[in-house]
Structures are given as structure tokens and as C-alpha cells.
Amino acid sequence: MSAQLTPQTDPRHALLFQPLRIGPVTAPNRFYQVPHCTGIADRAPDDVAAMREMKAMGGWGVVCTENIEISADADISPYPALRFSSDSDIPRQARMADLVHRHGALVGAELAHMGLYSANRTSRLASIGPSSRLLIEAVEPVQARAMDKADIRALRQDHRAAALRAKAAGFDIVYVYASHNLSIASHFLARRFNDRGDEYGGSLENRARLLRELLEDTQEAVGDRCAVALRFAVEEFLGPDGLTHDGEGRDVVELLKDLPDLWDVNLSDWSNDSQTSRFSSEGYQESYVGFVRKITGKPVVGVGRFTSPDTMADQIRRGILDLIGAARPSIADPFLPRKIAEGRSDDIRECIGCNICLSCENSFVPIRCTQNPTMMEEGRKLWHPEVMRPRSAEDSVLIIGGGPAGLEAAMSLGRRGYDVTLAEAEASLGGRVSREALLPGLSAWGRVRDYRLGQLAKMANVSLYPASRMESADILGFGAGRVVFATGAHWRREPVGRGGRAALLLDGPILTPDDILSGHRPVGNVLVHDTEGGYIGGLIAEALRTAGADVTFSTPALSHSGFLALTLEQSRALSRLIALGVNLIAAHDLAGFQSGCANLHSTLGAARVDIPANHLVLVADRIPEDRLARDLLSMPNRLQASGILSVDRIGDCYAPGLIAHAVYAGHQLAQSF
Ligand code: ADP
Ligand code: SF4
């Protein structure tokens, strides 16, 4: 059942468990999983349904889908989506609705036509929009055609038919979508896309006409049994070119205030809605969306990376929101509501706001989560975020290394009942997480360590030994049946990066990210040269600039920190560097460095640039710390004599990657025993 008040619930959080009427349906509590993508959608509907069911089991009172295309000209391929464009889609989506219902939760369907965002690459239909405009997402030079009245009628019919299919599939809440700059209704609303001369263009009332009609059509079609929700972005951060929370965004809420049964409000575009912890803190949307509830008499749900039950209860108590919306916090911890209900808030696996989940969606692969390695493995691997099968043998396990891979392995093996010893060379646990969390804006990343240490502290069968560097003899003499290396990696001091090219002539103080992460702060002129293209290069440039150095940040790539485009942070991150006065040079590789000067050559031609540089920080690739593991694996007889049955390597010492990869590797190993 959805999470209910229990005798253990902290009384301060009791109001989170009050049911709430939304139109003709009633949410059993205030925990609302707003629509979020899965990176796979209809390519693996059973996996998606299993993941949504897990949220319902974890106590979310409402669980929604991702966007559901209503017609062939709403096609956003290669981005995955669900579909309600034909009656044959009903059984597939009904399966998810049934699974969610089993646990007492309501289920919501986000119907969407993405207008100028729908490039129709699969359906090959011409794209449509309020006016003829270049498509928003497409790199191809392709424009939408301006819709005529017959097109508008057809769109309304498609939306209505999709709403009826959602009802037939058993959905309780049916959405009209007007958010993120990803909806045809938003495109009609926006002056910048709409220069129509008819009753759908011009005044705000006219530009809002299509949205009003879609809401009325949906109410009329399914409102007897389903609540009609409007997902609406009140602020676009475009000033007069867009909707603002104190201008036309507010006016739209005034215009339509009691038409939907539920206002699901947020910010546009997606990068503003799903901000990372580096750029915003919990509850960051309040100052924009807070007005909505004062205008409408209908319930309001909003998001803000809520993980603290105190903050959630406070939002409701102060009349900001009626329902606590969550996408990422529900990915990081599908059992968050149940933990609050049971007075176990300390057990919440808090989202760290890293947007690795979004990076997967933007790469068209199933979402993975840094904190929750079971995300999207509920169906295909039958992994549960809270429960693991008991151990299958008596073996004891020695884990060497207390970074994210080692900590996750220790916790998950501990959950299974194994006797686990974890030895860490450093005086404190956390490995790279502890070091990276000291970079500007990344303190929330420490939650990866803190959650696991909190869980481990409750396990009598797991012993942690910080300040314990292990060598081969210690391991052979330890007496564990299984040995797991989670010894991490270190950054290379030579300029070899993506593509594997080495620079010439290097003669001067060369630093690596490890030096900076250990607190070294070179002064004077510093060149940070990034061939990796992840988040570290820019953060090091920021840290050094903030500490007073004159920093140039260069990359051979066409743009800096390319990975951050996938986490929706690239613009913010680069704007911050520019504001701090960091000199950005893209499309230049390192040709040489002598103390005092670095030479960069253009990757697009013969041009060269000389940069004053007393220090060079190379952000290249990482070298796995696998010496000990390789030593041991090279002596099978001694392993056998010491009673060691298996030697495994996990995380960065096996294949350097993201923290998410290390956590996943630790979990996968624990599942495999
Ligand atoms: P991962 O991301 O794979 O978990 P980290 O670099 O975060 O890797 O963590 C690896 C940890 O292993 C570091 O904290 C490091 O101090 C520790 N470590 C490396 N070699 C040894 C060793 N020989 N004995 C104990 N701990 C070690
Ligand atoms: Fe949160 Fe990061 Fe997990 Fe996404 S990947 S849910 S941002 S912890």
C-alpha cells in the first residue's frame, strides 16, 4: 500500500500522509512522482513498468509516466517515448497502470505533442507549430510548417483520443503538457514562436486558446473519472521573450486558474527545471512557483529536488505546495515515502543532484542513478532497491578500498549477511567522493559516502578499518575467502587523453587533478588543459581561479566540458567560468610547455597560441590502481594455499568511470556472490 501514517511517523511529518482530493480521484498521500523520462520508454515497456511499480511499492501516492506521444506527428525519435496514438497502445500502458494500482497509488499519464521539438524523424511527417520556425532540438536545418485551422482541429482530436485511451488503460490522472519549451501548447503561448494573425495569435488570451481548448477537451472526454492535470512552466528565464512568473506566466495561471483539477508547476527549459546541486539547492523553485497556490483553488504540485521531510512538510504547512513532486529524489530512493512514514528518515538515499540520470536520457539509454544502482534493473535483473537475497555461502569477504565501489560492495554484501572487512589506506572513508565533494558546488555528492556509512554503522557483520593500507602479504595472511579490490585510479601526469595523442616538449611543473583534489593551489598563471571533457576540468579551473590564480582553460574539443551538455549543465558551468574571468580556449591542443609558457595549436588549422603559464594542470585519463590485484592474480598457488577462493576488481581500479559506474560495480559484485 502507499505510504500511510504509522505510530513511528514523526508527528512533524504527519501532514505528508493526509489524502488529497484531485478532481474525481483521491491521492492517498502527498508524495507525487511527477512525469520523468526513462531513456527507454516503449523500447522496454516491461522494464519501465517494473520501475514505476517499485515507486508505488515504496509509497509514492501518485506515479506518473514519461511523455506519451499522441500522434505520428508528435514523434521525438531518437528520444524514446511512450505512445497513445493508436488503440493498440492501450494494453502496453495498461500494464504499468495495473502494476502501480496494485499498491494503492494513483497513476498519471503525461500526454504530449512536442510541436517544434518533434522532428518526426521516424514518421517522416512534416513537423508542425504555431508558425513556421526552425525546429528547436534538431541540428538539421529543418522547419515546421504553420498549422492551419484544420491542423488545430486534428491536434485536438488526437489529444482527445489519447485521453480516452489513457482512461481506457486505467489511468487516474491525464495530463495536458505545457512546459519545458517541449510542448506545442507552450509554443503557441510563446510570442517568439507564434506570429499568427488569427484567434490563436496576438493577445495572451489568443495564444492561450489552444491550451484552454486542450484542457476543456480533456475534461469533457475523461473528466468524469480522471483528474485533468496541467503541467505548466511559470518561468522561462527569457525576460520579455518568454513567460515570466511575474508577467505572462502568472497571467496564464490567472486565465486558467480553476480549469485543470491539478496544477503541476515548474520552470522552463529542462535545464532550468532539473538544475543540479552544483547550481541550486533543495526547494530552488519556490520563489518562482510559490504564487500559483494563491491564485488557484485547485491542488498544486511542484518540484525542487526535495529529500528532506522537514522541507517537504514545511512546503505544505506554508501553503506553497499541496503535493511534493519528485522525479530525481524518487529515482535515488523509490522508498523515500515509506521511510518517512516509518520514522526512518535517516535511511533515505538522498539524490545528490548530479544529473547522471539525465545524461542517460540524453544518450537514449536506460537511466542509471549514482545513488541507486538498482534503477532500471528492477525488471530485467529483479534488483530491489532495499532488499537483497540472503547469502548463499559462509565465505568472509575482504574489500580493499573505501571509495564508492568498496562502500557499496560492503553495504550490499553486509545486507546479504556476509562477514565483511573493509580496509582503506586513508584515514577517512569515501575515496574520490570525499575528494570531489570539496570542489566548488559539489558538497551534496558527499551523500554517496554518508548514506553508505550510515547504513554500515548499523551492521554488526561489517567492520571498517580506515588508515589500513594493505599489501599482498597482509591480504594473503588475512584469512578471507574472497578478496575484492576497489582501489581506485589516479590521474595520468602525461598528456594522453581521448584519442590517445601525446604532446611534445613538456618541461615545467605539471599537476594532475589528484594534486588539486588534495588541496594544492598553484598561483600565478595556470593552464588547465582538458582532454577528458568531463566535469573535473572546469571545476578545477573554477577552484583555482577562485583561489586567485589567472587561469586559462583549454581543450582540443570544439566546446569545453562536452559531457555537461548531457547533464544540462554546460551553459551554466561555462558562464560561471567566464564570469569568474577564466580564459576559455576551445579547439586547441597542447603542443608544448616550458615553465612560463604553454603552446597551443589549433585543431582546425595551423594557428598557434602561446599562453603565459607557470603551472600546467593536465586533465587527461586515469590509470587504474591495480598493481596489488595483478600481483595476487599472478600467484594462484599462494592464493589457494591462503584459502582465497576468488579475487575481484571493481570500480575505477578495473575501469575508471563515473561515480555512478563505481557504485553500480560494487552492487553488481554483491549481487553476484
Ligand atoms: P572507486 O571509485 O572505484 O571506489 P576510489 O578512488 O574512490 O575508487 O577509492 C579507492 C580507495 O582505495 C581510495 O580511498 C584509496 O585510498 C584506497 N586504496 C588504494 N589502495 C589501497 C590499499 N593498498 N589498501 C587500502 N586501501 C587502498
Ligand atoms: Fe539524483 Fe544523480 Fe541519481 Fe539523478 S543520478 S537521481 S541526480 S543521484
**Is 328 close to ligand 2, i.e. is its CB under 6 Å away?**
yes
Q: Whose CA is nearest to atom 2 of ligand 2?
A: 354
- 177: annotated active-site residue: yes
36 lines ligand 2 (CB under 6 A): no
Q: Do 419 and 557 fall into the same domain? A: no
Shortest-distance atom of ligand 2 to CA 327 = 6
Q: Is 542 exposed, middle or buried (0-12, 13-18, 19+ CB in 10 A)?
A: buried
3-state secondary structure of 215: helix
Q: Are 366 and 39 in contact (CB under 8 A)?
A: yes
pLDDT at residue number 138: 76
Where do the H-state alpha helices sit in 382-422? Answer: 404-416
CATH number of the domain at 406, please.
3.40.50.720
The one-letter amino acid code at 462 reads V
CB atoms closer than 10 angstroms to residue 46: 13
Please name which ligand lies nearest the alpha carbon of 433. 1
- CATH number of the domain within which 608 lies: 3.50.50.60
Instruction: Report the C-alpha gap between 465 and 473 in whole angstroms.
Output: 17
Reduce the DSSP state of residue 234 to 3 states and report it. strand
Q: Give the active site residue among 175, 177, 418, 664.
A: 177
Whether 512 and 461 map to the same domain: the answer is: no
**Protein residue with its CA nearest to atom 11 in ligand 1:** 401
For ligand 1, atom 9, name the residue with the nearest CA: 403
343 in any annotated domain: yes
Q: 448 in ligand 1 pocket by Cβ < 6 Å?
A: no
User: Is 528 touching ligand 1 by the criterion CB < 6 Å?
Assistant: no
Number of domains present in the structure of the chain? 3
Nearest CA to ligand 1 atom 23: 470
On whether residue 6 sits in a domain, the answer given is: no
Closest ligand to residue 567's CA: 2
For the chain, how many residues are written? 673
Residue with cell 473528466: 223
445 and 422 inside one domain: yes
**Predicted local distance difference test score (pLDDT) of residue 236:** 97
Which atom of ligand 2 lies at the shortest distance from residue 331's CA? 6
**Residue 138 belongs to some domain of the structure:** yes
Cell numbers for 638: 599462494
Q: What is the CATH number of the domain that holds 158?
A: 3.20.20.70
At which of 361, 383, 414 does a domain end? Answer: 361
Q: CB 588: neighbour CB atoms within 10 A? A: 22
- One domain, residues 331 and 454: no
> What is the per-residue pLDDT across 346-402, written as a single tens digit (0 to 9) for each?
999 999 999 999 999 999 999 999 999 999 999 999 999 999 999 988 889 999 999
Q: Ligand 1 atom 14: the closest Cα is on which residue? A: 431
Residue that is last in its domain, among 623, 644, 659 = 623
User: Domain check: are 278 and 421 in the same one?
Assistant: no
* Cell matching residue 616: 600546467
430 alpha carbon to ligand 1 midpoint, in Å? 9
Written as one letter, the residue type at 440 is P
Q: Which atom of ligand 2 is nearest to the CA of 328?
A: 6
Q: Is residue 612 part of a domain?
A: yes
Q: Do 53 and 134 share a domain, yes or no?
A: yes
Q: Which residues of the chain have pLDDT under 50?
A: none
Q: How far is CA 22 from CA 43, 268, 306, 663, in A?
A: 31, 25, 22, 39
273, 419, 515, 530: the active-site residue = 273
273 ligand 1 Cβ < 6 A? no
pLDDT of 594 reads: 87
Q: Are residues 532 and 619 in the same domain?
A: yes
Nearest by Cα to 68 from 139, 155, 159, 148? 159
User: Is residue 204 in some structural domain?
Assistant: yes
Question: Which residue of 354, 367, 442 sits with most ligand 2 atoms within 8 Å of its CB, as the best mutation to test the pocket?
Answer: 354
Same domain, 428 and 500: no
| Set of cell numbers at residue 408 | 557499496
354 is catalytic: no
Nearest to 269 by CA among 340, 173, 181, 378: 181
Rounded to whole angstroms, the Cα distance separating 15 from 10 reads 10
Same domain assignment for residues 559 and 512: yes
- The CA 30 to ligand 2 mean position distance, Å, reads 21
Q: Whose CA is nearest to atom 19 of ligand 1?
A: 487
Q: Is 180 a catalytic residue?
A: yes
pLDDT at 259: 97
Structural domain boundaries, residue 357? 11-361
Q: Flag whether 133 is in a domain.
A: yes
Q: State how far the Cα of 537 lies from the Cα of 541, in Å rounded to an integer.
A: 6
d(CA 558, CA 585): 9
Whole-number pLDDT of residue 283: 94
Q: Are residues 227 and 107 in the same domain?
A: yes
Residue 194 in domain = yes
The answer to whether residue 369 sits within a structural domain is no
> Contact 135/121 with Cβ under 8 angstroms?
no
The verdict on the CB of residue 62 being under 6 Å from ligand 1 is: no
207 and 348: one domain?
yes
Same domain, 464 and 509: no
Q: Which of 278, 279, 307, 351 to mutate to test the pocket of ligand 2 (most atoms within 8 A of CB)?
A: 351
**Coil vs helix vs strand at 131:** coil
Out of 13, 32, 36, 37, pick the active-site residue: 37
Question: Of 180, 529, 615, 667, which residue is the catalytic one?
Answer: 180
The Cα 673–Cα 670 span in angstroms is: 6
- Whole-number pLDDT of residue 38: 97
Check residue 498 and give its pLDDT: 60
